[in-house]
Amino acid sequence: MAHGAGAGMRHPFLESMAQALVARNVAVLRYEFPYMEAKKSRTDPPAVAAARVREAVERANAEWPGLPLLAGGKSFGGRMTSTAQAEAPLPGVRGLSFLGFPLHPPGKPGASRAEHLFQIRIPMLFLQGTRDEFAKRELITEVCVKLGSVATLQWIEGGDHSFKIGKGRDIFAELADHILEWGTKVTA
């Protein structure tokens, strides 16, 4: 599980997400991109980020040999995971899970960041908040429809890009349940 552009693997969102998955007997490997390790604010170029994704997949395969493997992450981390998969299949990865796929920058709707997704042949789960300013609802829906049977789009009602929602809902349990349900089908 890769982090978003502005926060590393120890960010409370990623920690809570990992805990929710572990509570459901899902092993989680969080990792950081080189720019975050170096405490830089500018993200790594896609080739550098994709190489780190490959290192993480290799480590996950070594840590848990034989377990079904899903890869993905929050925003930038998910996009870089899909970039790596589009370039060459990630060994042992059976599906990609995106926690808020960043289809476009806020206020600049477009779908060019999705072009590489059409090279991917394994299942993809898009968990998107209905108020996500990085993925206009009609645009991400259109992308997923065009991707066909490899794409599953799950809306998180009231969620923004960070999945902030009203009180009374355990968003991490909700997201983890969606990943577990989808992942169980993908890895069966």
How far apart (Å, rounded) are the C-alpha atoms in residues 181 and 62? 25
Domain range annotation of the chain: 12-187
What is the crossing angle of helices 46-63 and 76-87, to 10°?
80
Q: What integer is the mean pLDDT of 5-30?
A: 95
**pTM (whole model) above 0.85:** yes
Read off φ and ψ for residue 68, nearest 5 degrees: -60, 140
pLDDT of 166 over the 80 cut: no
**How confident is residue 67, by pLDDT bands cut at 50, 70 and 90?**
very high
Q: Which pLDDT score, from 0 to 100, does residue 168 have?
A: 81
pLDDT per position as a tens digit, 85-125: 999 999 999 999 999 999 999 999 999 999 999 999 999 99
Question: Which among 27, 36, 29 is positioned nearest to 8, based on CA atoms?
Answer: 36
Question: Is the CATH number 3.40.50.1820 carried by domain 12-187?
Answer: yes
Please state, rounded to an integer, the average pLDDT across all residues of the chain.
Answer: 96
Q: Which helix (H) or strand (E) holds 21?
A: helix 12-22
In this prediction, what percent of the chain has a pLDDT beyond 70?
A: 100
- Between 48-52, 64-68, 71-75, the lowest mean confidence (pLDDT) is in 64-68
